[in-house]
C-alpha cells in the first residue's frame, strides 16, 4: 500500500509558482479554503500526473488548458509540471510519521514583508525552472563525454520528440583551419535524483509547444510504465482512490459492469486482467503472424517449380555465356593481331606523310619568306609612289598658284596701260589748254 508523501505543482492551472504540499503522518489531510482558491486543482493535479488523458475530466476543453494562462500582472507560463512522491511504508527507510509543521506568527514586522519583491522572486524562479527543463536547450558544457548506459534517460529519446538539431554557428565558433565545420548538439539534461528505497517520484510535464513527457524518479519513461506501477493499487485516473464531487452517486447509479471494474481494482486483480488481455493480444498477433507465415510458405511452395525452371535457364545462360566469352576471346585475339599489322602499316604511312609534310613545310616557309620580302618591297614602292604623288600635287598646286598670279599681273598690267593711256590723253588736253 502506497502512501502520499509530497506533491509539487508548477504552472498547473492556478499554481503559477512552485507549490509544495507535504503530507505528514497518518490519518486524514484536509485542505480548507474559500471557493475559487484552487482546492479542486490539487485533486486535478493528482489525477493528471497519474495519467489522466481527458481534458473534460480536468474541467477543460483542451489539454493545454491545464497550463497557467496568466493574469493582468503575470504572464502565462510555458509549461505545467506536477510531481507526486509516494512511499511504501514496508520498505521505506526514511521517517514515515512526524509532527505537523505549523508556524503561527501573530505579529510580523512591517519591513519584513514586500509582496512585490516576493512575487518577482517567485516569477524569476518559475521562469528559470521552466527554461531549465524546456526541450531544445543548448548544452553549454564543452567537451562533455557521451552519456553512458546508466545515463541513457538523459538523452532525448522514446517519448520526447527529436530535438537534437545543430545550432547555428556563431563567429566565436568559426573553425580555425580549412573547411572544418563545428556543430553544437542540442541535448536535454535531467538532474540526477537520489531516491530513497521504497520512494517513488512520478512527474508529468506538458509544454505549451505540445511536447509531453513522463518521468519516473527523474528518468524519462512511458505512460505505460507508470500505469504498470500503479495498476492494482487503486491509483489511477479513473480508479476509486480519487473520489470527487458526485463520484459516489455516479458509482451507485452506474452499470454493474462499471461497478465491477471498481471492485476488481479494489481487489487488486485489474493488473492481472490487464496482463492477461495484453498476453491474449500478443497471442492473437502471433496467430495472425503464423497464418501469414503459412500463406507465405504455400505461396513459396507454389513458386518452387517456376523457380526451378528459372534456375535451369540461369544455368544454361551461364554455360552459354562462358562459351560465348571463350569464342569472343579468339575473335578478339585475331582482330587484335590484324589491328597490330594495320597499326604498323599506318605507322609507316604516317612517317612518310610526316616527312612529306616536313618538306612541304620547309618549302612553304621559304615561299612565305620570299613573299614577306616582296611584300616589304611593295610597301616601300607604295611609300615612294605616295611621296612622289605628294610632290606632284605640290608642284601642280604651285603651278596653279603661278598661273593665277600671272593672270592677276596681266590684268594689273592691262589696267596700268589703260591708266597710262588715260594719263597721256589728259596730259595732252592740259597742254592744249595751256597753249
- The reply to whether 248 falls in a domain is no
The three cell numbers of residue 426 are 589728259
Domains identified in the chain, total number? 1
Query: DSSP letter at 94?
Result: S
CA of residue 354 relative to chain centroid, distance: 65
- The reply to whether 252 falls in a domain is no
Instruction: Give the Cα separation of 276 and 231 in Å (integer).
Output: 13
Compute how many other C-beta atoms are within 10 angstroms of the C-beta atom of residue 231: 20
pLDDT at position 25, please?
62
CATH number at residue 44: 3.40.50.300
CA of residue 180 relative to chain centroid, distance: 19
CB 147 within 8 A of CB 154: yes
- The reply to whether 191 falls in a domain is yes
Instruction: Give the Cα separation of 18 and 127 in Å (integer).
Output: 10
The three cell numbers of residue 308 are 526451378
Instruction: Give the Cα separation of 9 and 13 in Å (integer).
Output: 9
Short-list 26, 83, 29, CA closest to 199: 83
Query: DSSP letter at 138?
Result: B
CB 15 within 8 A of CB 9: yes
CB 128 within 8 A of CB 149: no
- pLDDT truncated to tens, each residue of the chain (435 aa)? 678 888 999 989 888 888 888 887 677 778 888 888 888 888 888 889 888 888 888 888 888 888 988 888 888 888 899 998 888 777 776 665 545 555 555 665 555 566 778 788 888 888 888 888 877 644 444 334 333 333 333 333 333 333 333 333 333 333 344 455 544 444 555 666 666 777 889 999 999 888 889 998 888 888 888 887 877 666 665 566 676 666 666 666 777 777 776 676 666 677 777 788 889 999 999 999 999 999 998 888 888 888 888 899 999 999 999 999 999 999 999 999 999 999 999 999 999 999 999 999 999 999 999 999 999 999 999 999 999 999 999 999 999 999 999 999 999 999 998 889 889 888 888 888 887
CB 84 within 8 A of CB 4: yes
Task: Please measure the distance between the N-terminal and C-terminal CA atoms of the chain and give it in whole angstroms.
Answer: 185
- The reply to whether 420 falls in a domain is no
Query: DSSP letter at 281?
Result: H
CB 345 within 8 A of CB 353: no
- The reply to whether 243 falls in a domain is no
- The reply to whether 43 falls in a domain is yes
Instruction: Give the Cα separation of 344 and 329 in Å (integer).
Output: 22
CB 289 within 8 A of CB 297: no
Q: Which residue has the cell 490539487?
A: 42
Which residues lie across from 85 on neighbouring strands? 6, 201
Instruction: Give the Cα separation of 239 and 231 in Å (integer).
Output: 10
In 3-state terms, what secondary structure has residue 62? coil
CB burial of residue 142 (10 Å; 0-12, 13-18, 19+): exposed
- 412 contact partners, CB below 8 Å, separation of at least 6: none
Angle formed by the axes of helices 256-267 and 270-434, to 10°? 100
Compute how many other C-beta atoms are within 10 angstroms of the C-beta atom of residue 294: 10
Which residues lie across from 220 on neighbouring strands? 215
CB 166 within 8 A of CB 117: no
- The reply to whether 8 falls in a domain is yes
- The reply to whether 17 falls in a domain is yes
In 3-state terms, what secondary structure has residue 366? helix
pTM equals 0.52
pLDDT at position 240, please?
61
Enclosing domain of residue 86: 3-93+123-139+152-237
Amino acid at each position: 500500500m502506497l502512501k502520499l508523501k509530497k506533491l509539487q505543482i508548477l504552472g498547473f492551472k492556478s499554481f503559477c509558482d512552485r507549490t509544495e504540499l507535504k503530507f505528514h503522518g497518518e490519518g486524514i489531510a484536509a485542505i480548507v479554503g474559500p471557493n475559487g482558491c484552487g482546492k479542486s486543482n490539487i485533486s486535478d493535479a493528482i489525477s493528471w500526473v497519474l495519467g489522466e488523458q481527458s481534458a473534460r475530466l480536468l474541467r477543460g476543453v483542451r489539454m493545454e488548458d491545464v497550463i497557467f494562462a496568466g493574469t493582468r500582472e503575470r504572464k502565462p507560463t510555458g509549461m505545467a509540471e506536477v510531481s507526486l512522491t509516494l512511499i511504501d511504508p514496508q520498505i521505506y527507510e526514511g521517517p514515515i510519521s512526524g509532527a505537523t509543521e505549523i508556524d503561527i506568527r501573530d505579529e510580523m514586522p512591517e519591513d519584513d514583508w514586500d509582496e512585490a519583491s516576493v512575487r518577482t522572486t517567485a516569477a524569476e524562479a518559475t521562469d528559470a525552472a521552466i527554461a531549465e527543463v524546456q526541450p531544445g536547450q543548448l548544452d553549454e558544457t564543452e567537451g562533455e563525454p557521451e552519456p553512458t548506459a546508466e545515463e541513457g534517460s538523459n538523452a532525448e529519446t522514446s517519448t520526447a520528440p527529436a530535438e537534437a538539431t545543430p545550432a547555428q554557428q556563431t563567429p566565436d565558433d568559426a573553425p580555425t583551419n580549412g573547411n572544418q565545420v563545428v556543430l553544437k548538439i542540442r541535448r536535454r539534461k535531467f538532474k540526477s535524483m537520489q531516491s530513497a528505497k521504497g520512494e517513488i517520484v512520478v512527474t508529468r510535464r506538458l509544454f505549451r509547444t505540445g511536447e509531453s513527457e513522463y518521468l519516473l524518479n527523474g528518468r524519462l519513461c512511458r505512460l505505460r510504465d507508470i500505469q504498470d506501477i500503479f495498476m492494482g493499487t487503486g491509483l489511477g485516473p479513473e480508479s476509486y482512490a480519487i473520489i470527487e464531487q458526485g463520484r459516489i452517486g455516479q458509482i451507485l447509479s452506474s452499470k454493474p459492469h462499471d461497478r465491477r471494474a471498481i471492485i476488481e481494482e479494489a481487489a487488486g486483480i485489474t493488473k492481472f486482467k490487464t496482463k492477461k488481455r495484453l498476453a491474449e493480444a500478443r497471442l492473437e498477433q502471433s496467430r495472425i503472424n503464423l497464418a501469414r507465415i503459412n500463406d507465405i510458405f504455400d505461396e513459396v511452395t507454389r513458386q518452387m517449380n517456376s523457380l526451378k525452371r528459372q534456375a535451369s535457364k540461369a544455368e544454361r545462360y551461364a554455360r552459354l555465356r562462358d562459351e560465348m566469352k571463350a569464342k569472343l576471346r579468339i575473335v578478339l585475339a585475331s582482330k587484335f593481331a590484324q589491328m597490330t599489322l594495320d597499326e604498323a602499316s599506318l605507322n609507316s604511312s604516317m612517317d612518310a606523310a610526316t616527312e612529306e609534310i616536313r618538306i612541304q613545310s620547309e618549302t612553304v616557309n621559304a615561299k612565305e619568306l620570299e613573299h614577306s620580302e616582296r611584300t616589304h618591297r611593295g610597301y616601300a614602292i607604295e611609300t615612294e609612289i605616295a611621296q612622289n604623288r605628294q610632290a606632284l600635287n605640290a608642284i601642280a598646286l604651285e603651278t596653279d598658284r603661278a598661273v593665277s598670279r600671272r593672270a592677276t599681273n596681266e590684268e594689273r598690267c592691262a589696267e596700268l596701260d589703260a591708266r597710262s593711256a588715260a594719263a597721256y590723253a589728259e596730259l595732252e588736253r592740259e597742254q592744249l589748254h595751256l597753249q
